[in-house]
Structure 1
Amino acid sequence: MLENFNALVDGLPPALIYLLIAALVFAEAALFFGFLFPGETAIVVGGVLASQDKLSLPLLLVLSIVAAVAGDSVGYEIGRKYGTRLLDTRAMRKHRAKVVKAQDLIRRRGAVAVFIGRFTALLRALMPALVGSSKLPYPKFLVFNVIGGVTWVLTFTLGGYFAGEAFDHAAKLAGRGLAVGIAVLAVAALIVWGVRKHRRENAEEAEVEAEEAAEGADRSLEQTRP
């Protein structure tokens, strides 16, 4: 996914790259785009491009933070306005296990769940709307939204920035061929990790669905008893 996004922005003018990264980060929670494309992919690549002097790191950080906070705020308003009707949407039903996990986290941690959810892709897309539907006051949400957004953007953008610098340094020391080989191995490891994570999430969702089906069967059995 990193390679695909990098190929997409390669050759684009800086202004358009800034706009694309900000749009992806904003849409992750505001439009639930995080189900398809995790926002950290965009800011990691942005950090790599900044290490290559194609983007300004300070400007990238500011734009990404604003987009992250604004996107989550829009997601919160959607949840506050539509409430429980939001849970009947196709996207929410498809990721039922994540919804249950997020709701449990909100019940246990309150506003802190906004910060915690920021660092998991699907929770990041779901959490603002679910918090809004739980009627948590917006000022409390905003505090943890800003803290989480700043921490998240700094972590992944600077991670991409220093990774890009390390790659260039390795290329100078060991030759670009070896550096590319190391990068390929790193990407392969990330892909394997992502596939295993996806399978684990699917297993969790299947488990939740099985439990719900069992509970429904038990209720039906009780209703049929004389």
Structure 2
Amino acid sequence: MASFLDPLIAFVSAHAWLGYLVLFLAALLEAVPVVGAVIPGSTIILALSALVPGGDLRLEWVLAAASAGALLGDGSAFWIGHRAQREILSTWPLANYPRLIAQSEAFFNRWGALAVFFGRFVPPIRAFVPVTAGALGMPPPRFYAVNIPAILLWAPAHVLPGVLAITALHQYAGIPHHTGVGKHYWMLSVIGGALIVTLATWAIRRRRGRSTIESAAKPVRKND
């Protein structure tokens, strides 16, 4: 991964205007079923966000590019599932990933609309939840009502850790903005990944605990 990200960061530093296209494509491809399970889109976004403090990329455009790519990717996957219905889940290439399809379907059946929200933060099923939601008949207005807020939270959650980490290294460790970025991208990935996984896990467990309490509180009806 280091051999891939270091040249990419150097390339974007030299051609900043293409950085936004890379960010857009990374977010887009990460949302495509099957492709998103192997494309390290989140890592690319997190690594390139480290170029913001040095002025190579602008924060608002980084957030906009990542959000637009995620929205187009999720929306396209949803509409493909919505048009093809459940049949698409058993056709190529999705048929080659029965375990991920089963996990996505179980995730959606358990959480409903919240699966679309939480699924955006949980790889690799992130790439399968939108198409599954469409295939299982989720209404488009309901999908976008959940998906858009999720993306608006997901983008800063992936971008800001890199920005803050490099800013801290510059201010407190004396590392210049334009050096050491490639060497520290693993640290940024760990920080961002930990924050995202922690948030998603906490929210899911909190929801699960609430459901358990509500189920236990329901009165048991005895047969006459």
Query: Quick one: distance in 1 between partners of 2:2 and 2:136?
Result: 34
- Aligned positions of 1:169-188 closer than 5 A: 169-172=171-174, 183=184, 186=187
Counterpart code for 2:67: I
Matched, 1:157 2:159: yes
Matched, 1:81 2:83: yes
Give per-residue Cα distances to partners, 1:44-73, cap 9 Å, x unaligned.
123111122110001111121122112100
Q: Which residue number in structure 1 is paired with residue 28 of structure 2? A: 26
- Aligned positions of 1:15-164 closer than 5 A: 15-30=17-32, 32-164=34-166
- Aligned positions of 1:183-202 closer than 5 A: 183=184, 186=187
In structure 1, list runs of 5 or more residues that go unmatched. 194-226
Q: Which residue number in structure 2 is paired with residue 5 of structure 1? A: 5
Give per-residue Cα distances to partners, 1:203-223, cap 9 Å, x unaligned.
xxxxxxxxxxxxxxxxxxxxx
In structure 2, list runs of 5 or more residues that go unmatched. 194-224
8 A Cα contact 2:33 2:131, kept in partner? no
Query: Quick one: distance in 1 between partners of 2:3 and 2:119?
Result: 26
* SS of residue in 2 equivalent to 1:120: coil
Give per-residue Cα distances to partners, 1:83-132, cap 9 Å, x unaligned.
23322345434432222121112112211110110111211110110000
8 A Cα contact 2:117 2:147, kept in partner? yes
Query: Quick one: distance in 2 between partners of 1:65 and 1:2?
Result: 25
Counterpart code for 2:70: A
* SS of residue in 1 equivalent to 2:51: helix
- Over 3 Å counting, the alpha-carbon distance change for 1:40 and 1:185 in structure 2 is closer
Q: For residue 142 of structure 1, report the CA deviation from its aligned partner.
A: 0.2
Give per-residue Cα distances to partners, 1:164-222, cap 9 Å, x unaligned.
2123235417x99xx89x948848x95xx9xxxxxxxxxxxxxxxxxxxxxxxxxxxxx
Q: For residue 31 of structure 1, report the CA deviation from its aligned partner.
A: 5.6
Whose helix proportion is higher, 1 or 2? 1
Structure 1 range deviating more: 128-137 or 78-87: 78-87
8 A Cα contact 1:2 1:41, kept in partner? no
CA-based RMSD of the aligned residues comes to 2.9
Give TM-score, length-normalised by structure 2.
0.72
Identity %: 25
Counterpart code for 2:94: M
- The aligned length equals 187
